Structure 1
Amino acid sequence: MLKAEDLQVHFPVRSGLLLRQTGAVKAVDGVSLELGVGETLGLVGESGCGKSTLGKSLVRLLVPTAGKITFEGRDITHIGQRSLRPLRRDFQMIFQDPAESLDPRMNVRSLVEEPFRIHKLGNRTERKKWVDDLLDTVGLSKTAAERYPFEFSGGQRQRIGIARALALKPKWLVCDEPVSALDVSVQSQILNLLVDLQKEFQLSYLFIAHDLSVVKHVSDRVAVMYLGKIVELADSETIYRNPKHAYTKALLSAVPIADPRVKREKILLEGDVPSPIDPPAGSAFGHRIDHPRYKETIGMDLSLREIDPGHWVAADPCCLETADWERIQG
């Protein structure tokens, strides 16, 4: 359904009296991925690694600097807003903070009805029924339609955001950390709702999160992102059972385990995340941990390689076990 090839999103850095460009923030720097029909692709990584920027560029809220985005065989990378508007019915986004993404001056009915008005769908009576049906679908009562976002809890506001995203019956959704700001009990409700909606409407999800335990619950495949690049990609069971990249292992070691009898060695990362304005010339993660083989990676092709069927990992000697590095070279 969706394919991104060598996608880049760079933001100019300007300085001086004439505000000339002196550099660029390389938020997304050469990402390739695919999303199938009815599939959930989890996207994980630390804050600031480029996850949200990637999601926004895929739904064309941001224009990519380079690369290609293909939706159902059509190149949508640089098409204009007039051509893009009818396509927006097929892909929508659930934003991270519903308090910020919902206009506080509009009541819930106006918020959920707005996509119908923009795309000139239905008359007043039909739109009223559609809104009531959408609120019922996400577990809200019809009386909620006449209230305002600030009158609801965080979980209820997120349900309003989901109803709004579903209004035009899209084919796929970007879920940008939809549960990160919610209580644990509410998180499970929203996650279960998303799973049920996927089954009912055959939706595809790009599910962005930094909590790997949440991603495991909903994802078919998981992509691990570090400093604007995908460093590992596999089905969720493989990622959790047999991670290959050192960064993936560090992320997994930080996931809490409910059973106090189970002990897990935590991997404490040293150093700081490199700046996306001036990223290292070689392995970004190797530079962070001051790996002895870092200098070898300068100028090296660190792109993803298939180490096992369906399991892709960056060809980086700083981040792989010796045996895995030798396998990937062979």
Structure 2
Amino acid sequence: MSYLLEVNDLRMHFPVKGGVFSRQVAAVKAVDGVSFFVRPGETLGLVGESGCGKSTLGKCLVRLYQPTTGSIRLEGKEISTASQQALRPLRRDIQMMFQDPAESLNSRFSVRQIVREPLDIQNIGTPKERDQMVEDLLEKVGLPKSAVNKFPFEFSGGQRQRIGVARAIALNPKMLVLDEPVSALDVSVQSQVLNLLVELQKEMNMAYIFIAHDLAVVKHISDRVAVMYLGKIVELADSETIYRNPRHAYTKALLSAIPHADPDHHGQRIRLEGDVPSPIDPPKGSAFGHRIGHPRYEETIGLDMGLVEIEPGHFVSADPCSLTEEDWAKAKGLMKAPTAV
């Protein structure tokens, strides 16, 4: 089966400048060697703590950032190094939704102007046809046609996010990168927006990359889940497997923090010690092992801790600080095997 999106060894390092001549003295390694694929119509959840590089990765995928190195292929076409002119037709196929609709929508534009802008840029249809498309899009996301002449500040948070959805799907894209699309909304509104996204995905056969830190939300919407830690993917598997049988210690800690509605549930919360290492000066060995002061940290210095397929379709970082003894023995034997995910 051919993939819609293929990402290989992607890195996004931001220069840190200092001194009298403002020379580069370091780099923030926001994304540091990420590889994965997305199938047509699939939802890949991307989870991790704030600052792990999720949003930066999303912005690289739609080329809001120019990646430092690595490859991003959309339907076989390389977009990581494409010029702005070459990117313009490709932007029809991959769009992005942002976290805060109050910030991502231009307050000086009417709803008609906001939703119609991508149609104008891509020169789709006549002006009259574009106006009709805008009304149809608003109706599709559950807003009345009368909303076209209003401005973003006249709507609630959930309604503004629906406007953002309408803008994102205006070009009938094949993929949406959703950067925490419901985290700024009330809980009662979150489910409405999530259900809308699920319905639109079925109707339009779009693939989603769903970026979030709320694992309960990710479980609801994702087919597969990738867990990021300090710029790297440390575990990747289908949603059911991740939640039923996590292998990486960081994934286990994240899952233990999910609140339960059952007051009689007494699951043990895993509390991580130490601080997240700085992406400017990451540890030479296991970043997670360094954080928790693991006794095997020293042996990870210089070790290739790339992803290995510990079970069919279940990939995990080959890190002795993060795996059980049994899993580490298995991963160690697979470290030279191909790790494409």
The TM-score range, normalised by the shorter chain, is over 0.9
Distance 1:75 1:175 in 2: 21
1:291 to 272, 294, 300: 294
Q: Which residue identity is paired with 2:33?
A: G
Taking the TM superposition and a 5 Å limit, the aligned residue runs for 1:121-160 are 121-160=124-163
Question: Which contiguous aligned blocks of 4+ residues in structure 1 show a shift greater than 6 angstroms?
Answer: none
**1:109, distance to aligned residue in structure 2 (A):** 0.5
Asked if 1:230 corresponds to 2:233, the answer is yes
- Please list, as runs of the form range in 1=range in 2, the aligned pairs for 1:27-106 lying within 5 A after superposition: 27-106=30-109
1:266 aligns with 2:266: no
Q: Which residue of 2 aligns with 1:198?
A: 201
Deviations 1:104-124 (A, max 9, x none): 000100000001111111112
DSSP-derived class of the 1:28 partner: strand
Q: How many angstroms apart in 1 are the aligned matches of 2:193 and 2:251?
A: 26
- TM-score norm. by structure 1 comes to 0.99
**Superposition deviation, residue 125 in structure 1:** 1.2
How many residues are matched?
Answer: 330
Q: Do residues 173 (structure 1) and 179 (structure 2) align?
A: no
What amino acid does structure 1 have at the position aligned with 2:322? C
Q: What are the superposed Cα offsets for residues 221-256 of structure 1, whole Å, 9 maximum, x if unpaired?
A: 000000000000000000000000000000000000
Cα distance in 2 between the residues matched to 1:74 and 1:261 = 52
Matching residue of 1:250? 253
Instruction: Give percent identity, aligned residues only.
Output: 68
Alpha-carbon deviations, 1:88-131, whole Å to 9, x = none?
00000001111111000001000000011111111121011100
Return the match for 1:17 from 20, 33, 36.
Answer: 20
**Residue number in structure 1 paired with 2:122:** 119
- 2:78 partner amino acid: D
2:336 corresponds in structure 1 to: none
Q: Deviations over 1:239-274 (max 9, x none)?
A: 000000000000000000111111110011110000
SS at structure 2 position matched to 1:104: coil
User: 3-state SS of the aligned residue for 1:33?
Assistant: strand
- Unmatched 5+ stretches in structure 2: 334-341
Could you give the per-residue CA deviations for residues 133-189 of structure 1, whole angstroms, max 9, x where no partner exists?
Answer: 000000000111111001111111100000000000000000000000111110000
Counterpart selection for 1:300 from 282, 299, 303: 303
RMSD: 0.6
Q: Show the 5 A alignment for 1:299-318.
A: 299-318=302-321
What is the aligned partner in structure 2 of residue 107 from structure 1?
110
* 1:190, distance to aligned residue in structure 2 (A): 0.5
Task: Write out per-residue CA displacement over residues 293-329 of structure 1, whole angstroms, 9 at most, x where no aligned residue.
Answer: 0000000010000000000000000000111111222
- Match of 1:78, SS state, is coil
TM superposition score normalised by structure 2:
0.96
For the residues of structure 1 that align with 2:74 and 2:122, how far apart are their CA atoms?
Answer: 20
Shift, 1:77, TM fit: 1.3
Aligned letter for 1:101? S
Deviations 1:32-73 (A, max 9, x none): 010000000000000000000000101111111001111111
